[in-house]
Amino acid sequence: MNTFFPDAVVIARRNLIKIKRIPELLVFTTFQPIMFILLFGFVFGAAIDIPGSSYREFLIAGIFAQTVVFGSTITGTALAEDMQKGIIDRFRTLPMSESAVLAGRTFSDLLNNVLVLIVMALTGLAIGWRVRTSLGEALLGFALLLVFAYSLSWVMAYVGLRVRSPEIVANASFIVIFPLTFIANTFVQSEQLPTPLRIFAEWNPVSSVTQAARELFGNIPPGAPEPTTWALQNPIIYTLMWAVAAVAVFAPLALRRYRGAVSR
């Protein structure tokens, strides 16, 4: 009997109840993106000038990307917490599908990111961001952001089960994710960066997902230089390659970790 699907739904539902029970969590996950959009939009948007276009519009896709990447760390901290509190022990003595715990977790975190993207998009629209392509392309842009964040959830699932302390997961991922989202084209055009950083930024998948979203929203400034690397010339394919690779490597690793997990 394969119980993967119903079990994953039970787990995802349980995770969502937690968001409901801790209002602070919901406030944090929705207010923080709003704040980002407003702060970056008004502070940087006023200070940085992109010829022939609004920097604010350029910025939005970058803020979307950064926020969903940060959102994926929830997967790691939540699993570490469940491990610490012995909940994973309880699950592991039940006759349920083992992969369902991880699948349910990554799925509920995906839903969380959907909510965050909706809030951010509405805030963006309110301050003048516009989609200059079609609704279909815009939705494809959002979908790509979500796929990318979902694949990172699996990386974080592995990290969370390995590290076992929610605080350490949060701190460690901050150290990695901060440079990853800043040494990229999220907030500046990568051409403006000094060479070593530029090369990193050009191959950084956070850049490609941002580039793809920006193209799909029609937010590339007119007259912006053509990207010179394959990664940024084919940002959708390049992003999907990263996403598939991350899941292919980290989902089995995380599952193996889960099977051997003990709370202490």
Footprint of another protein (CB under 8 A): 1, 3, 6-7, 10, 14, 17-18, 21-22, 85-87, 89-96, 260, 262-263
Q: What is the Cα–Cα distance from 199 to 80, expressed in whole angstroms? A: 34
The residue among 83 and 155 lying less far from another protein, judged by its C-beta, is: 83
Q: How far is the CB of 206 from another protein (least distance, A)?
A: 31
The residue among 89 and 137 lying less far from another protein, judged by its C-beta, is: 89
Q: How far is the CB of 79 from another protein (least distance, A)?
A: 13
Q: How far is the CB of 239 from another protein (least distance, A)?
A: 34
Q: What is the Cα–Cα distance from 107 to 154, expressed in whole angstroms? A: 10
The residue among 94 and 139 lying less far from another protein, judged by its C-beta, is: 94
Q: How far is the CB of 263 from another protein (least distance, A)?
A: 8
Backbone angles phi, psi at 122, to 5 degrees: -65, -45
Cα torsion 56, 58, 62, 65: sign: positive
Q: How far is the CB of 4 from another protein (least distance, A)?
A: 12
Q: What is the Cα–Cα distance from 110 to 7, expressed in whole angstroms? A: 17
The residue among 164 and 198 lying less far from another protein, judged by its C-beta, is: 164
The residue among 141 and 160 lying less far from another protein, judged by its C-beta, is: 160
Question: Which DSSP symbol is given to 191?
Answer: G
Q: How far is the CB of 75 from another protein (least distance, A)?
A: 16
The residue among 86 and 128 lying less far from another protein, judged by its C-beta, is: 86
Q: Between the CA of residue 38 and those of 34, 56, 232, what are the distances in Å?
A: 6, 10, 27
